[in-house]
Every structure is written in structure tokens, then in C-alpha cells.
Amino acid sequence: MIVDPHHTDTAIARRALPLLDLTDLGNACSDQAIETLCGKARASRVAAICVWPQHIHRCADLLAGSPVRIATVINFPAGGTDIERAVDDTAEALDDGAHEIDLVMPYRTFLAGDAGIAAGMIEAVREITGRAILKVILESGAMPDTGSVTEASRLAIAAGADFLKTSTGKSTVSATPEAAAAMLAAIRDSGRTVGFKVSGGLRTVADAALYLAIADRIMGPGWVEPTTFRIGASSLHDALTASLGGQA
């Protein structure tokens, strides 16, 4: 049997690791956990880390001089409707040193038929982010069908999202291949430069390979890179580095 070298675990791991948003959004995240996270991020040269807003300052110190970016979460995980608070929290996070904002869209009100609040929040946060990256979390696992995922994707893109992100990782259903395909198709059809982040439940090299293959199929070879595709995960990092023999 001939093995395609582009589809071995090692090749997939080498491709996926620089796309990783190494994440710790645990309720008991400690200072020691943040130090460990930033140490892994520096060593592996992942795209970014994603942490609670209160840890941004510490991460900025630990990652000084590193190309690893700092992402944080806003309106997370509930996806509430308080636009003013989302704007204020975003402004504080940017002042503290965040480079990327992962904003939970008010998905419940969107599903209830009120798209205006969702669009208004994204637009308001977009207005103050400046050159920072805005990733909009759709919480796709809460959507009843792929049609709703497509509609939410189009709304977020029109409102100014730089990335569409599948999930908070806190819901019963996180990322699915079907939702990922719908979101990527919406990005492709929009004609805009918008990235995609898959998050929630990815733990193995095979998981990474699945979503990379979906992106390659829909967006075409060569589209996937850290500026357009991210993988939000915590435990996946260890699986990827293990496939590389422990070397980033």
C-alpha cells in the first residue's frame, strides 16, 4: 500500500499546529495554568492563545517578544443581549493587550427571530476593534439546521466579522462537520476575506484532519493558513506534538 505523505499523522500535525488557538477557558484557570499555556504556545509557535479577559495582562508579559497572538472572549459563553457591556468589555480587553476578540453572537435572540440585536452587537464591537481581529462565535450546535447556520454566517459577515467561529465549547453540541461546511460555504459565497475557526471537541489528529479536508474541499488548496483558518482547542496540542515526536 502506498501512503500519501501529505495525509500521514505527522504531516497533518505539522500543518495543524501553526493554526492552533491554544485555549484555556476553564472555570478554575489559575496563574500556573496560564504560565504553562504560554510556555507551550511559545515553544510550539501556535497562532494564538485564547484566555479569559482577566488573564490578558499576564499573557502579554509571558509572551512579550513572541509572535503568538492573544485572543479573549466577550459575551461568553451565554451570548447575551447587552451591547453596551460587550463594547465596554472589548475596549478593556484591547487596552489590556488583546489582539483578537472572540465574540459570542446573541444567538438565542437570533433564533427567536430578532436578527437586529445580533447584527447590532457585532457592528458595535467591530467599530471599536480597529485593527484587532473580530471572530464571531455562532454557537452552531444550538442551531436547528444548516439553513440557520448559513443565515447566521451571512449576518455575521455582513456585520463585519473577520472570522466565523463555530462554538464556545460550553454547549452540549460543539463543532460539527455539517456546520463547518455551511459556514465555509457562506464565506466562499460572500466574496469577502473572512476566516474560519473550528472549536469545541477537537482532540485528535484525525479531528484536525477532518476539518482541514473540509476547508480544502470548499475553499480550495492553499486557502488554509493562520490568517484564514484556526483551530480552537486545549487537549489537541498534546496530540499534535506527540505525532511530531514531542517536537513542535
Tell how far CA 147 is from the center of its chain: 21
Q: How many residues does the chain have?
A: 248
Is 238 part of the annotated catalytic residue set? no
Select which of 21, 40, 165, 207 is catalytic.
165
Tell me if 163 sits within 8 A of 129, measured CB to CB: no
Active site residue 40: no
Q: What is the CA angle 99-160-163, rounded to 5?
A: 55
The count of other CB atoms within 10 Å of the CB of residue 233 is 27
Q: How far apart are CA 64 and CA 177, in angstroms?
A: 36
100 and 133 Cβ atoms separated by less than 8 Å = yes
Please tell me which residue in 24, 102, 162, 207 is annotated as part of the active site.
Answer: 102
Annotation says 170 is catalytic = no
Give the N- to C-terminal CA distance of the chain in Å, as an integer: 29
Active-site amino acid positions: 102, 165, 197
